[in-house]
Structure 1
């Protein structure tokens, strides 16, 4: 059970032992199988939160309704992530993402008409795993009213050394700062509110594998580079409430793949 009062206070909730170890291993095995078929020459798109250079790449733009591969900025032969419709197009990730426990959790969080919008397998390789800059998920997956909610699942132990999540507790009660989406046919970032992040102490969310972290869509969070000899794989699923409006200028569009809930 999730502590809804703590979630409302902090903007995140940590649920240890939510996913059995054998399910963590099954996702890692399936990701390795998918990665084995990846041809770096066919998909050289580098994913980086530092400069958003991938925004001009058609391969990235059309990934909302596909399974696409993105490489590390510092190691083009290593994958940064696989996204963004694993939960719809791969049977292993589909079964995992639509399990009753996740549906029940979405209900507890007040998502009355949950839709599974985006999924990502995050590699965070040993030694070369890239930093993810401070951001709010609603910057990229905006709804009116705000409803995006993240389920982040640790498939390896995650700590400060190998790039665990870091969050600003309580900062989700502030406004949406940035918007990333289409304007005049181009993907651009735009400042909506220049208010700085609150001056609160960042919290490192160090967790054991199998832990699920719930992230409010307005919560500022990040992760540091992985310079350790250990990987930090994770799977993340973003949900929205189907009662909310999902603007057509959001970057992630799925014209040929309608959104589905848990059914």
Structure 2
């Protein structure tokens, strides 16, 4: 299996014929989400907050992540390098497939859902790194644009320690022009979209540990640097409808989290044994 921590190049992505337009989400008989929540997602591009784990449950998840982070940094990684984690670590695979997370996602994407991404974004105290304004779909060789990100708060996330922020409604504007980030931005990623508020209203996404938000893959979002004395860790879990096509071998990352893949395009990776 190829190294999926490597972001595809602009040339690779531009060579693909991707449908990067928003497709309104929602099923006729949702299991978890209300009609108002689905309407909010379609109009504003996100849902937040969702109550997922109790304090005791997220405490155990945090203990697991603390140990995983120690192991990864001892091996030369850093707090942002734990990517495609469901392919390597059984407990992360368990989170990707957890029904409490998958059910609201399925209410948006339908009966056949693929989980394909898992990436810890862990801002250490005063690390000075931000996530510039961007669209997730811009980085992904997926088409059509029928994918979402669940952002699970491992730690409390607020404006002081760099919680996420959204431009509400920007997901309906299509794929936006971006520029390569420069070194002065200290960006965790490598794309920057300027003048974001021309596309909609700025809203912040504070979450308590154990809560989650869901946002559309075309929603403009980012986060400011953590200048506090507290860590801010979140786990991003990525999902798409099974009728989405993944180029560049990304279909190998797939796990069937709800239903199946009638097309046979996506792999269905087993739970890894590694802890």
TM-score interval (norm. to shorter): 0.7 to 0.9
Q: Tell me the equivalent position of 1:183.
A: none
Cα 1:195–1:127 change in 2 (3 A) is closer
- The answer to whether structure 1 residue 137 and structure 2 residue 136 are counterparts is yes
Q: Tell me the equivalent position of 1:113.
A: 112
Match of 1:261 among 243, 256, 259: 256
The two structures, once aligned, show a CA RMSD in angstroms of: 2.8
Say whether the 8 Å CA contact 1:21–1:210 is kept in structure 2: yes
Aligned length: 214
Say whether the 8 Å CA contact 2:162–2:232 is kept in structure 1: yes
Say whether the 8 Å CA contact 2:52–2:212 is kept in structure 1: yes
Say whether the 8 Å CA contact 2:115–2:238 is kept in structure 1: yes
Other structure's SS at 1:168 match: strand
Other structure's SS at 1:80 match: coil
Q: Tell me the equivalent position of 1:62.
A: none
Q: Tell me the equivalent position of 2:201.
A: 201
Q: Tell me the equivalent position of 2:223.
A: 223
Which runs of no fewer than 5 residues in structure 2 stay unpaired? 1-31, 180-189, 259-275
Q: How many angstroms apart in 2 are the aligned matches of 1:17 and 1:82?
A: 24
Measure how far apart 1:88 and its partner are. 3.2
Q: Tell me the equivalent position of 2:58.
A: 24
Cα 1:89–1:197 change in 2 (3 A) is same
Measure how far apart 1:106 and its partner are. 1.9
Cα 1:196–1:95 change in 2 (3 A) is closer
Q: Tell me the equivalent position of 1:104.
A: 103
- The answer to whether structure 1 residue 151 and structure 2 residue 146 are counterparts is no
Q: Tell me the equivalent position of 1:9.
A: 43
Deviations 1:77-111 (A, max 9, x none): xx234112x22321111122211222211220024
Say whether the 8 Å CA contact 1:31–1:121 is kept in structure 2: no
TM-score of the pair, normalised by structure 1? 0.72
Measure how far apart 1:28 and its partner are. 1.7
